[in-house]
Amino acid sequence: MSSDLEKGSSSLQSVSQSESDLENTPTSELKDPLPESKPQSTWRRLISILKGGGETRGIEPVPLEERQPVTASTSLHMLLMWFSMTLATNNIIVGSIGTFVLGLSFKDAALCAVFGNLLGVCTVGYVSSWGPVSGNRTLIVGRYFMGYYPSKVCCAINVLTNLGYCMVNSVVGGQILSRVSGGQVSVLVGIVIVAGLSWIMAMFGMKIFAIYERFAWLPQLMVLCVMLGSAGPKFNFNIHTEVSRGVLNAKRMTFFSLCLSIALAWAPLAADYYVYYPPHVKRWRTFTLTILGCGQAMLITILIGVGLGTTLASSAEYRDKYGDSPGGLLMMAYDSLGGFGKFCAVINVLALLANNTPSVYSMGMNFQMLGDFFRKVPRPVFVTFSTVIYAASAMGGRNQLYEVFKSFLPLIGYWVMMFFVIILQEDILFRRRRGYDWSAWNTPQRLPMGIAAGAAFLIGWAGAIVGMDQPYYGGPVAKLAHGADLGTWLGAGFTFISFPPLRALELRFIGR
């Protein structure tokens, strides 16, 4: 993206917002449009220093005059951005869970990965299409479906989601750097390195991030080809675990849900990366390019992980040599390549930055969406705070990464699927004909009350709880299904059934 699109804007109103709109906006939600005459704080001076290269825009909509013009290369840039962000090393770890941790055969795990991922990226593609249309970040758009206040709950949950996601990436990167250095760089130091580099790019916002993502995919794809050539002959396509049909189906469903959830993690962020594109970009184009970029990259990495998992599961020698940590799994892939293999592993760490940075960037936005007090705090403060929190969490959880993956990813699927169901039903059943006034993004009186959405969201969580299967709790329905994690599906189903009648009643008696 060109630099003129990344300049901060002191106005919180969209280009279409009129004076009457501003009169209806609560005083507490407005920022003084005039320059401040008082001395600048330390943080504001820091922002001024970074202004030449950083992005100071907050959560306000991007005006039309600051949108990126559509060129012949626009589609390619959109596709490469998603391909680069999601061609991530952590997806390899997720793939290995199917065969190494759950004991599925290669065929079973691969089929679950393909169809679970396909469903997940379709969700991401749909949500991403709201970015050019509205000029708003994803969870600001969520206010039009969830209501002004209930949407803040989603912002808080998404902050926790991305903290966990970045924590996982940092641990994987730290383990790789430690093994590459032969232990001279500890896992703790490796975590700090990954978190620090992610922080730098997130501080500068979409400008440096977009440039990095445009090229980061190429070296990562090359080393993945090297990895496949080195480890592919060791894949065990005949491995399988002798279990009953019911237990086997439960494992299949669990892994299917994991592959769905790794894609769903991007849905609450998806529109954030398209707000600088003009509204006349066709929604089908945004949807298709997102699916192509995101889906292909995820499938490549997850399927490689499925294959590596079969190698580790079938070889006691490799388990003794590399252990059962994700970092060891990746180093096993370069087992016969010596120093060149270590170089390739470092490139895998750089790929984690391409995956980590957008999450850190969006977390800063999500914090500002929580309320007027948070919106007054500069985004870099939240970026820094988030980085410290997830880096500290990564240090504490560095030895239980597979357990974290198995417990953390399904939780993402639970809430994101419920959120998506509400968006889809509200758009198709209630809002499609009436349209959207994007100038009302920060005016609670002109947005839905959110009673129906909030109630349906809670009902959905009730479904998720009775269907979940986690180390800390197993729902009654999950126990009947031989331990299959059905939380995502029951949560979505309960929300799907409850939201339309509740929303119809809300419109009838409240009118918005």
| Average pLDDT value for the chain | 84
Per-residue pLDDT band at 25 (split at 50, 70, 90): very low
**pLDDT at residue 427, as a whole number:** 93
Question: Residue 336 belongs to a domain with what CATH number?
Answer: 1.10.4160.10
Specify if 454 maps to a domain: no
pLDDT in tens, 464-505: 999 998 878 889 999 999 888 999 999 999 999 999 999 999
pLDDT at 5 over 90: no
**pLDDT at residue 205, as a whole number:** 63
Average pLDDT over residues 254-278: 92
* Whole-angstrom distance, CA of residue 401 vs CA of residue 456: 33
Per-residue pLDDT band at 13 (split at 50, 70, 90): very low
Q: Which residue has the higher pLDDT, 160 or 53?
A: 160
Residue 227 CB-half CA count within 13 A: 27
The dihedral formed by the CA atoms of 12, 15, 21 and 23, expressed in degrees to the nearest 10 = 50
pLDDT in tens, 274-315: 998 999 999 999 999 999 999 999 999 999 999 999 998 888
Specify if 113 maps to a domain: yes
Specify if 96 maps to a domain: yes
Domain count of the chain?
Answer: 1
Range of the domain at 391: 79-400
Specify if 307 maps to a domain: yes
Residues 6+ apart with CB under 8 A from 91: 262, 297, 298, 301, 302, 305
**pLDDT at residue 349, as a whole number:** 87
Residues 6+ apart with CB under 8 A from 460: 418, 421, 491, 492, 494, 495, 498
Specify if 56 maps to a domain: no
* Whole-angstrom distance, CA of residue 96 vs CA of residue 341: 20
Specify if 466 maps to a domain: no
Average pLDDT over residues 428-451: 89
Determine contact, residues 295/82, Cβ cutoff 8 Å: no
pLDDT in tens, 186-233: 999 999 999 998 888 888 766 677 777 778 889 999 999 999 999 999
Most confident of 1-10, 77-86, 154-163, 450-459: 450-459
Return the minimum-mean-pLDDT range out of 83-87, 128-132, 293-297, 401-405. 401-405
SS (H, E, C) 306-341: HHHHHHHHHCHHHHHHHCCCHHHHHHHHCCCCHHHH
User: What DSSP string runs through 194-233?
Assistant: HHHHHHHHHHTTHHHHHHHHHHHHHHHHHHHHHHHHHHGG
Determine contact, residues 380/364, Cβ cutoff 8 Å: yes
Specify if 127 maps to a domain: yes
Tokens of 2: 């060109």
pLDDT in tens, 383-424: 899 999 999 988 987 877 777 777 777 888 899 999 999 999
Specify if 136 maps to a domain: yes
Return the minimum-mean-pLDDT range out of 106-115, 163-172, 199-208, 458-467. 199-208
Residues 6+ apart with CB under 8 A from 5: 62, 66, 67, 68, 206, 207, 276
Share of the chain above pLDDT 90, in %: 47
pLDDT in tens, 467-478: 998 878 889 999
pLDDT at 125 over 80: yes
**pLDDT at residue 207, as a whole number:** 64
pLDDT in tens, 230-255: 999 999 998 877 888 889 999 999 99
pLDDT in tens, 327-355: 788 888 887 888 899 899 889 888 888 77
Residues 6+ apart with CB under 8 A from 445: 24
